[in-house]
Amino acid sequence: MRAKELRGVGGWLALLAHGLLWIGPLMGAGRINTNLLDVEHQYTALDGNSLWWDYKLATWLVFALGASVSAAAGWRLFRRQAPTSVYFAKAALWVAGPCLSLALQGLGPLVLGIPASAEYWSEAAPPVVGAFLSAIVWTLYLARSERVRNTYGLGFPIDGKAVASSTATRRFSISALWEPEKIQNEGVRRICKVINVTGLMWVALLVLIAITSRESGVTAFALIAAVLGYGLARTVTWVVAGFMKPKA
């Protein structure tokens, strides 16, 4: 009977869903804005500096990517009671957690030319480690929670029908999120294909710039931009395809 009682987005599951949807993104945006303003107040010469502007732009773009994935995962936990919502949330915990934190910390040496010394990374390590531990805890929660299993149909009967987390269900959860061909709506499927082709063209262009450039800074920036650009294209496809119904 307890398995039937623990169902629905409540308790720790509600905290996680709200955290992914809006609490985490808002807190992250506020923290980044505060840090940038503190640096500008401390070093007034940065006002109008093009390199500092590039750094701020890169920071917000990288953060926006991670926050978008996080918000999409939170929205899915509230709106789609299917196994794919749990798989997406697990991935989002790592993308918007340690991966995002590590990427933001790496922008200093990459864009501003700050020496990537042991001292720098020792100061940058705490938020990355904190995000890593948080991702581990919440991933384990999603994997072991009785409420999560009941709510999203992971191996427990729902309305008298067994909704097992079978191999076929897992295969769909991966293919539907990454393969536009699985999308039922023709228009959305074409849009996803265009996004993926654009991402590949972006990667090819930036890799060409990285290869032909004689400046190490430009080479590094182009390679990072190529990875982020392709990652953004795949993430958009991932999010959109995850919301759409698969082909019958």
Of 218, 224, 222, 181, which is closest to residue 205 (Cα–Cα)?
222
User: How far is Cα 215 from Cα 193, in angstroms, rounded to an integer?
Assistant: 34
Instruction: In whole angstroms, give the CA distance from residue 77 to residue 39.
Output: 37
pLDDT at site 172: 39
Give the pLDDT confidence score for residue 154 in this predicted structure.
84
- For helices 24-42 and 50-79, give the axis angle rounded to 10 degrees: 170
- Give the phi and the psi of residue 71 in degrees, each rounded to 5: -65, -40
Nearest to 5 by CA among 165, 142, 149, 140: 149
Is 171 within 8 Å of 24 (Cβ atoms)? no
- pTM strictly above 0.75: no
Q: Is the pLDDT of residue 43 over 80?
A: yes
Task: For 15-40, write each residue's pLDDT tens digit.
Answer: 999 999 999 999 998 899 989 989 98
